[in-house]
Each structure stands twice: as C-alpha cells, then as structure tokens.
Amino acid sequence: MKLEVAANILAKIGNPTRLRIVRLLVRAGNEGLAVGVIQKELSIPGSTLTHHITHLKSAGVIRQDRQQATLICRMEYEVLQQLVDYLTEECCINALSRDDAA
C-alpha cells in the first residue's frame, strides 16, 4: 500500500461517526448490515449516514450491494488488512538495530 492511499483511508475513517460505521460492519462480518440497520444503530438521519457512507466507499473501505430493495454495506476486509499491514510492517525495526549496537 502506498503512503497516499493509507493517508486517504485514515482521513476517511478518522471521523467518529465513520469509525463507528466501520466498527459496526467489522462486527457484522461478511453478511454486512442494511443501511437502515446502521441508521437505527447510530440514531442519525439518513442523509447524514449517506454522506458518511460515501466517504467510506470512496476510500475503498466498504462496499454496498443491493439485495432487492435493500442496500447492504459490507466491510472490505482486504483493504482494512492492507492498511493494518502497512502500519505495522516496520514494527520494531529500529529497536532491533539498537539492540545490535549495544
């Protein structure tokens, strides 16, 4: 993952409401959640939820699938995992260098 992509994702999820949506969808698993369920859980207006979902979709963090008349939001776990991997890929690398110098 490139720095710019990671920064964009972090900027998009770095909003309390969007982070709550992400956490709801992570808990929901692969089945995802209907937009109406998310709206009810967060107690926010539909237009506000749409605004936040648009940001998360544009970052590639979630996707929406239509099941008849219902929109289902699902977490893009691969993107989330790539972000976590990017953030942790150099974990402790400098600590190892300091240990060797001692």
- pLDDT for 91: 86
- List the CATH number of the domain containing 29: 1.10.10.10
Q: What is the full per-residue pLDDT of the chain (102 aa) written as tens digits?
A: 999 999 999 999 999 999 999 999 999 999 999 999 999 999 999 999 999 999 999 999 999 999 999 999 999 999 999 999 999 998 888 875 665 665
Residue among 36, 22, 15 at smallest CA distance from 84:
22
CB 53 within 8 A of CB 35: yes
Domain extent at residue 43 = 3-101
List all residues 6 or more positions away from 39 whose beta carbon is below 8 Å from its beta carbon.
45, 46, 49
- pLDDT for 98: 63
Could you give the number of structural domains in the chain?
1
- pLDDT for 100: 61
- Dihedral sign, Cα of residue 10, residue 84, residue 86, residue 100: positive
